[in-house]
């Protein structure tokens, strides 16, 4: 038996591990993972904001939400959240979850109805990671 530690895994190896985990999970839940992304482009077609997430097992999981510095405070972030949550509900989601760091957007998410259910402190010695959830229905 050999343990391999790597910073450069082969895609075939990481894909295999994911596939085997999903195969195990299939005995308990259906595999209904689906990407959910919302992008905002300016008139020239350049991305000025976006949200990457996925839906599965009655949940929306938001992975990344970004708004260009020049667009912050304009309401685009709010529209991204609302649009994404609306689509998630259409897909059958009842809940949403995400995480954010203390130097990111905790107040933004709290204003949009998310509540903290956990936190980890000490990232880079000074930052906190917050885990948030929201009931959509």
What would be the CATH architecture of the domain defined by 11-135? Answer: 3-Layer(aba) Sandwich (3.40)
At 137 the pLDDT is: 87
Q: Is the pLDDT of residue 130 over 90?
A: yes
The C-alpha atoms of residue 51 and residue 96 are separated, in whole angstroms, by 13
The C-alpha atoms of residue 76 and residue 81 are separated, in whole angstroms, by 9
- pLDDT tens digits along 82-122: 999 999 999 999 999 999 999 999 999 999 999 999 999 99
At 39 the pLDDT is: 98
Token pair listed for 23: 């195969």
At 90 the pLDDT is: 98
CA-wise closest residue to 36 among 18, 51, 49, 57: 51
The pLDDT-based confidence of 24 (bands split at 50, 70, 90) is very high
At 97 the pLDDT is: 98
At 23 the pLDDT is: 94
Per the CB < 8 A criterion, the answer to whether 76 and 49 are in contact is: yes
Q: Is the pLDDT of residue 125 over 90?
A: yes
Q: Return the ∠ at Cα 107 (arms to 62 and 53), rounded to 5°.
A: 5
Q: Is 100 exposed, middle or buried (0-12, 13-18, 19+ CB in 10 A)?
A: buried
How do the domains of the chain map onto residue ranges? Answer: 11-135
- pLDDT tens digits along 59-91: 999 999 999 999 999 999 999 999 999 999 999
What is the value of pTM for the model shown? Answer: 0.91
């Amino acid at each position: 038996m050999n343990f391999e530690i790597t910073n450069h895994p082969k895609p075939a190896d990481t894909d295999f591990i994911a596939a085997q985990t999903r195969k195990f999970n299939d005995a308990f839940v259906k595999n209904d993972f689906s990407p959910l992304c919302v992008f905002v482009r300016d008139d020239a077609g350049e991305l000025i904001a976006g949200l990457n997430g996925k839906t599965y097992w009655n949940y929306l999981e938001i992975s990344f939400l970004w708004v260009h510095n020049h667009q912050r405070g304009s309401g685009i972030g709010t529209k991204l959240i609302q649009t994404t949550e609306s689509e998630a509900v259409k897909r059958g989601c009842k809940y949403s979850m995400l995480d954010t760091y203390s130097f990111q957007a905790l107040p933004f998410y709290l204003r949009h109805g998310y509540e903290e259910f956990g936190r980890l402190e000490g990232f880079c010695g000074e930052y906190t990671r917050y885990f948030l959830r929201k009931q959509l229905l």
